[in-house]
Amino acid sequence: MRYALVLPVMLLLSAMGCAGPASPASAPSAAASPTTAPRTASPPPVLPERINALYSSRNVDSLVFYIADRQGFWAQEGLSVALDYAAATAANAAQLSGQAPVVASGGAEAIAAAAQGGDVRIIAGIFNSTPFRLMAEPSIRTAADLRGKRIAITRPGSVTDMTARLAVEKLGLSPADVEFLALGDMRVLLTGLTNGNVQAGMAYPPDTAPLEDLGFNTLYDPAREGFPFQHKTVTVVGRWADEHPEATDRLLRGVVRAIHFIRTEREATLAAVSEFIGVTDQRGLNEAYDEVILRLIPAEPYASVEGVRYILDFLARDNPALRDIDPARLIDHRWLQRLVDSGFIARLYGS
């Protein structure tokens, strides 16, 4: 977006009388002094011509980016954002290489990259707990039934992998008691469940309702416990954010405006979810809005230090050094805090 720069110039003329002695009442004021320098406007901020942004899952947890783009909130903030989908591994690689400085990333992948020295900063948290449930085909009703069966995940190290292992352990089993099958994409995972290629897998609304209609059972629902888990994040390349602080600010403004739309425009949001992930089951859509969207997409999207800590501890099972990392070091709330302190978010909600 181009901005026109207008520099108003004011010429102040003052005539000093020369007849008779000067009196205090007729002395010129400091404001009227002919030596007062004219004020000039600040130059407009320099914004990137184009910002490549990615979302790493075709699911409700990426809805905020979809809405920010679809409803034009980023464009209204003066940004040209090219939004696309890439699976988490590819999205993280694109971010670490600088090709896509902005990603709506799974928390597990983002935290692992940042903790291992990648120039990645978490600037917001979209889901600070996980909505995933471990669902199994009708014949599997207990933990004993699950033993020896295949559980679908998207990718090793992903949020689906982490929550599936958590669910198995909560059921009193060891991850060695089951087989984890990586299917790459959430939509493919769901197809694998319905066609019988796998016997169990992770899913959450609106995808759970159609599975329930087919007789699938929920074996474990961590959302019921509400424990902190940084499921989804908004991440930026640190160097890029430092070089483009104004663009980062506007990017986050677009995000919080999208969140406001999602939280206040129910019917339009349900239509967007249906369009985004291809789900038409109305019961599932309503469940997604009430149990996932309103509960897990906060008006002020602070990332959860406790949720990051949980993931670091989980990753430390394979890399003990990660247990010593301060989770707060991976989070940069400067831009979000300015939006909160300025009243920007409160004004969106009429406060």
Q: Which domains does the chain have, with CATH numbers?
A: 51-129+228-348 (3.40.190.10), 133-224 (3.40.190.10)
Give me the pLDDT at residue 39, please: 54
Structure-token match 């004219």, residue found: 38
pLDDT in tens, 237-267: 999 999 999 999 999 999 999 999 999 999 9
Q: Which residues contact 153 (CB under 8 A, 6 or more apart)?
A: 160, 161, 164, 180, 181, 182, 183, 189, 201, 202
d(CA 129, CA 166): 13
Return the pLDDT at 212.
95
Report which of 307, 326, 330 is spatially closest to residue 113, judged by C-alpha positions: 330
pLDDT of residue 148: 97
- Residue 140 confidence (pLDDT): 97
* pLDDT for 325: 95
Could you say which residues of the chain have pLDDT below 50?
A: 1-37
pLDDT at 351: 78
Three-point CA angle 139, 145, 149, nearest 5°: 90
- Dihedral sign, Cα of residue 142, residue 148, residue 153, residue 157: positive
pLDDT (0 to 100) of residue 152: 97
* Crossing angle (nearest 10°) for helices 107-115 and 159-170: 110
